[in-house]
Every structure is written in C-alpha cells, then in structure tokens.
Structure 1
Amino acid sequence: MIELDPRTTVRVVGIGCHPGQLTVEARAAIAACDYVIAADKGPDDPLLALRRAICAEVGVELVAVPDPPRDRSAGLDEAGYDGAVLDWHDARAAAYGAVMVGRPGTVGFLVWGDPAFYDSTIRVVDRLGVPYDVLPGISALSLLAARHRVVLHEVGRPVLVTTGRRLAAEVAAGHDNLVVMLDGGLQAATLAGEWDIWWGANLGSPHEELVAGPLASVVADVRAARARAKDADGWVMDTYLLRRLGDAAPQ
C-alpha cells in the first residue's frame, strides 16, 4: 500500500447520469475538493470530457490518470474474471496513489450514476488507506424506473440487480424480475420464454433512448436505439428491467 500524507482525504461523489443531474450536495462537495482524479481511457473518452466540464464549472482542477489495462478476454471463467477485475482495481489504486503522494488535501472521485451500483471506485479508494466518505448520485436504475413510470419490483416481491454476463444463470435459478446492467450484447435476446422489457440508454442525456414492450417484439428496436445513442453521444450505457411475461404489471 502506498503511504499517503495523513492530511489526505477522499470524497467519492455520485454525479448522476448527466451533468444536469448533479445534486446540490454533490456540487458543494466537488467545489470543496483541492483536486479531482479521473481515469483517462483515451483521447476520445467522452465521459472524461463530461467530468472535465463539471470540474471547470465549479472551479476545481481535474487530474487525468491513464487507466490501467484490464484483461477482458472472452474466454475467462468466473474465477478468471474476478481475478482480472481485482488486478485492475489494484493497478488503479497504485496509479491514483502515485498522483496523491505529493499532493495532500481533499481529493474527489466523480462516479457516473451512483457509487453503489456496479462501480469500482469505492473498492479502489479503500485500497488507498485514507479516510473517505461517499455521496450518492441519481442512479440509472432510478432514472429507468422514472422514465418508464414503473416500480422495479412488484408488491412485496424482490427485484434482482445483475449483469448481462450473469443473466442466463440468474434466470435458470428462477429469477423472473431483474434489472440488468453492463449488457452491451443484449443477452436478454437469447432467453427462452416470453418476457416484457423496459429498456433505456444514456438516461438523463439529451439523446436518451427508451423502448418498452414484449421482448421478442422490440429486440430490433432496442438494437437500433442503442446504435442511435452511441452515434449521438459517442458512448452508450444502457440498463433494463426484465419481467417474465404474464406476471402482474409494475405497481
């Protein structure tokens, strides 16, 4: 573990799914930071550009750190995938710590959406061994439900939040009401049976896309909408609610 100045503290700030969704609390937290660290995924990283815009608006320096490579081999089994992610977290912590060694103060990390859902920032910051706090942001899950005017779970029943990678296994285990994230390949299209889907991409942005209906009937619409979102924004993040057809409508 890198030894950092004891005066160093970190704020992990959820910034919502678009700059317009930045909460008053989050904006004040960013403004109080001495600088912000952000991963730089390359010269055409639109999410880094959005973080730069937020920092410029509140008057805080952003320090871009080249994002370490991650093993994304298609053939990784569950243990190999988990190991690759852990190695990536270690490498990110080392890269961020190297910046922080000579720069004590309050350091911000701006998390797209909410830090609680499928984001590694809390785990990475925990490796740095410095005091930190976490501020929530408006999540894609919340926006998805709001845009489609649905409740993610039925009365008295659960909803499972999972990934495209695990979707088939979760359905095989009996889950029939799921919110799916990190599914660029739309694994729902491979499922047997009849399902309803409420899908959204780039939620909160001016170019957000929404599709809803029986899965088999709208798969082509989802793929076309996903392509439009990527063309418009240069990136695409999508999520969806999937419910076995015939269950009660969202309450």
Structure 2
Amino acid sequence: WINQRASARFENTLFVNEFEQERAVDVGLILDVRAATNLCAGNQSLLEHTVQATATLADALLQHGNRVGLFLYGGSVDWTFPGYGKVQRERILRVLARARLERSQVFDKLQHLPTRLFPPHSQLVLISPLQPGDLEDLVSLRAHGYPLLVLAPDVVDFEQEVLGERPHLELAVRLARLERTHLFRQMARAGIQVFTWRVDEPFHQVAYHVLSRAYMWSRTL
C-alpha cells in the first residue's frame, strides 16, 4: 500500500504502491469530536492531531481506489457518504476543516453510533483518544460483525508534554499508562485492532502500519 521509503522523504505526503489484484474496500472513517474525550491543554487540542491523521488516512485510502466515507461523532449527525477519488477527497477535507469539539448528551457514548449509515461489510476505522467507558460499546460493535480498527493518539504523552517534567506527576503518568495498556489489551482480546501514536511524530509512519494490514480487509469481508 504505502511506499514507506518515498514517504519518509516528504513529511506530509504518502506515496502509495498499487496492487491491482486487490479489490477496493468500503471504509468508514469515524472521527471522535466529543469534547469529553479530546483533551485540551493550553492552546493545544488533541482534535487538531486526530483531524490531520484522518485527512492523511483518507487520502491514502482514496489514492488506492477505495470507497471512503466520513462520520464526525459527537454532535449532530455529520455524515459524508462514501465515494471515490479526488472529488471525495475534497469533500472530506472540507468537512474536516470545520470539525469542532462537540458536547451532546445524545452522542456522549459510542453506543449511539448510527452504523446503519455505513454500507454492509464496511471496514470501520475509529480515530479517537478513547475513554474507559468506550470499551463496552466497541466490543458490542465488533460482536455485531463490524471489522473495527481504532487509531488512538497517545493521550498520556500529550498531557505530559504540555505539563512538563514534574516529579510529583511521575506516579500519575505511570498509572495512566497502565490503564491505557489494560484498555488496549481488552480491545485486542475482543478482536479490535488498535494502533496508537505520539502526536509529535509524523502520522504517515503509523499509516504505513495501518495500511500494510489493509490488504487483509478485502479477504475477510
């Protein structure tokens, strides 16, 4: 899928290798815009990083000829129907450009995700910092037969970078990392693939690992 060597030379560009024998896949990208999930510290927000990650991933998937849709989860129903090519890329970028943190009691939990909007057998990709209460809803989603992949920014590292090195925070950071590790292990046991990345590192490196497994999607749907 992604030519890692070529991409490494250009920080904001992904170069995609084509494999004509692999059929295209319907991919539903779900960007979590819930204010309760997206940490803000000073003038920084995790949402900025997840928006960029979503744009990078959508571009790579569309370059390969897949049909990609986008749902912003957290406020009103904001759904971009799946499509192909450059026109769809522009649609998705326009939606991402207006993405804002949302507060809604209706969409405070992932259980209200309107999966009926996605075409049958779609590969779902959730881009979210996650919160512990999401586990049950994600497991339920996977149990209903939806192939699910979660991309989660490193929340603990993000907060630590903002707060700086403080001796009294060392234990809190350690406990937070243990909680995240436990959450990811529970998700993995439920058949949910999880990728996490440091937001100060180029996302295309994570995208390479994500899409290198994507060839399996068409063989399992």
TM-score for both structures, normalised by structure 1: 0.32
Pair member with larger Rg = 1
Q: Name whichever structure is richer in helix by fraction.
A: 2
Q: Name whichever structure is richer in strand by fraction.
A: 1
